[in-house]
Amino acid sequence: MSLSIANMTRRFGQTEVLRGIDLDIGKGELVALLGPSGSGKTTLLRIIAGLDWPDAGSLAVDGQDWLGRTAQARRTGFVFQHYALFPHMKVRDNIAFGLTVLPRSQRPPSAQIEARVRELLHFLQIDALADRYPSELSGGQRQRVALGRALAISPRLLLLDEPFGALDAQVRRDLRRWLRGVHEASGTTTIFVTHDQEEAFELADRVVVMGAGRIEQIGHPDEIYDHPASAFVARFVGLTVELPVTMHQGRAEAPGIDLTALPRRAMADGPATLFLRPSDIAVRPDPEGCFRVAEIVSTGALLRLQLTGPDGCGIEAEMPRRRIAGLETGQPVLLRPEAGRIFPAAPRSDQPATPAPLPAFKEQRL
């Protein structure tokens, strides 16, 4: 099932939560909605499911308008952030719920429902838990039951709100691989929300980066990782080191930093900001260097360096431990970024704005 969202806005009182979302998702795609807390991911997902309605904009599925349909009629499989399993029902009844509430004319015979539940329990690898109550399950098991309950109605669109949010790292990794399998086996179109970059990149065909109610970038994980489209995305995907540079004939220049490894860019001369991953900065001891090592912390595999620049600014660099021997605190060093993104040093409007009403937007709505 393909999905098309155009120009969608949603506000709660004075807070603009969605500020014009345009998004097309193809049949059978697995898409991640990635963004910081409060960026409107859940709101968008709820609108798609029919649990909330936008103030403006359109939502079409397979070419048909969906905003006029009730949530019941849409029959999306929705997995809630905190699972929302019915506490008074056993696992098997939770999973069967979507089938047992069908109008009598459409409801499969109970033997068939039972068979479907058994099949799902087996598929989810929780056969043994069928007669337990949700309060008697672990987080990962609840997660599976929640997914089973959503899959029972054979939804053509599966929506997951931070499905692995409450789980530990190991379980998350296992479930991720498993969810990919579920997605492929069931052939549904799947949208999942996360604020974990690694999760989004590992699992999704395409990643939609959201910031403050807007889509900042849509693309393949590698594309977003290598070519963040805005300063916001750059920060969000881990380019956390920001250095002021000056553009001169397509090259970035900054005192004490060797920027020759970066390709030329078609940018106007003038001040700009260079965004770097800590791991993309090579550090070389050099008596002429104007950065100093303030602190060295080992994480085992990596050394994390705190460096102080000429104007007192601090930046972080990271490298495999064995690559640099004999680095000491207080030592002057030269920096040589090996990759990075440059954006014009605009007034920082690209930052995740605090959700305040935009005057221009107000006029448009009146």
Partner 1 sequence: MTAIAPAAPVRAKRVLPGFGLTMGVTLTYVGVIVLLPVIALVLKGAEIGPERFVQIITAPRTRAALQLTLVAATMATIFNALYGLLMAWVLVRYDFPGKRLLDALMDVPFALPTAVAGLALTALFAGNGWYGALLQPLGIEVVYTIWGVALAMSFTSIPFVVRSVQPVLEDLDPQYEEAAVTLGAHRWTIFYRVILPAILPAWLVGITLSFARSLGEFGAVVFIAGNLPMKTEIASLLAFIRLEEYDYNGAAAIALVLLFIALVLLVASNLLQARAMRYKGKGA
Residue numbers 17-46 binding ligand ATP by CB under 6 A: 17, 35, 37-43
| 197 forms part of the interface with ligand ATP (CB under 6 A) | no
Cα–Cα dist 99/361, whole Å: 44
How many residues of this chain bind partner 1 (CB under 8 A)? 32
Contact residue for partner 1 among 98, 211, 289, 352 (CB under 8 A): 98
Please give the angle made by the CA atoms of 29, 228 and 170, to the nearest 5 degrees: 60
Contact residue for Mg ion among 9, 42, 197, 217 (CB under 5 A): 42
Contact residue for partner 1 among 123, 133, 178, 361 (CB under 8 A): 133
Residue numbers 232-291 binding partner 1 by CB under 8 A: none
Nearer to partner 1 (CB atom), residue 79 or residue 333: 79
The DSSP code sequence of 225-268 is HH--SSHHHHHHTT--EEEEEEEETTEEEBTTB--TTSPP----
Min CB(41)–ligand ATP separation in Å: 4
Cα–Cα dist 77/87, whole Å: 19
C-alpha torsion sign, points 113, 46, 188, 128: negative
Contact residue for partner 1 among 26, 55, 58, 86 (CB under 8 A): 86
3-class SS at 158?
strand
Per-residue tokens: 240: 């956390």
Main-chain dihedrals φ then ψ at residue 237, nearest 5 degrees: -95, 20
Per-residue tokens: 96: 């069967």
The DSSP code sequence of 304-353 is EEEEE-TTS-EEEEEEEGGG--S--TT-EEEEEESS-EEEE---STTS--
Q: Which of 190, 278, 210 is nearest to 34 (CA)?
A: 210
Q: Which of partner 1, Mg ion, ligand ATP, none interacts with 43 (beta carbon under 5 to 8 A by kind)?
A: ligand ATP
Q: Which of ligand ATP, partner 1, Mg ion, none interacts with 40 (beta carbon under 5 to 8 A by kind)?
A: ligand ATP
| 12 forms part of the interface with ligand ATP (CB under 6 A) | yes
CB 277 within 8 A of CB 241: yes
Provide the 10 A C-beta neighbour count for residue 78.
23
Half-sphere exposure of 34 (CA within 13 A, CB side): 30
Main-chain dihedrals φ then ψ at residue 262, nearest 5 degrees: -85, 140
Say how many residues make up the chain: 366
Contact residue for partner 1 among 82, 220, 323, 365 (CB under 8 A): 82
Nearer to partner 1 (CB atom), residue 84 or residue 171: 84
Residue numbers 13-72 binding partner 1 by CB under 8 A: 49-51, 70-72
Nearer to Mg ion (CB atom), residue 42 or residue 189: 42
Min CB(90)–partner 1 separation in Å: 8
Q: Which of partner 1, ligand ATP, Mg ion, none interacts with 39 (beta carbon under 5 to 8 A by kind)?
A: ligand ATP
Min CB(84)–ligand ATP separation in Å: 14
Nearer to ligand ATP (CB atom), residue 35 or residue 98: 35
Residue numbers 136-155 binding partner 1 by CB under 8 A: 136-137, 149-150, 153
Beta pairing, strands 30-34 & 189-194: parallel
**In DSSP terms, which residues pair with 320 in a beta bridge?**
302
For the CA atoms of 279, 284, 289, 294, what is the dihedral angle to 10 degrees? Answer: 60
Of all residues in the shown chain, the one whose CB is closest to Mg ion is 42
Nearer to partner 1 (CB atom), residue 32 or residue 85: 85
Residue numbers 331-360 binding ligand ATP by CB under 6 A: 355
| 77 forms part of the interface with partner 1 (CB under 8 A) | yes
Task: Summarize as ranges the residues that interact with partner 1 (CB under 8 A).
Answer: 49-51, 70-72, 74-78, 80, 82, 84-90, 97-98, 101-102, 133-137, 149-150, 153
Task: Summarize as ranges the residues that interact with ligand ATP (CB under 6 A).
Answer: 12, 15, 17, 35, 37-43, 195, 355
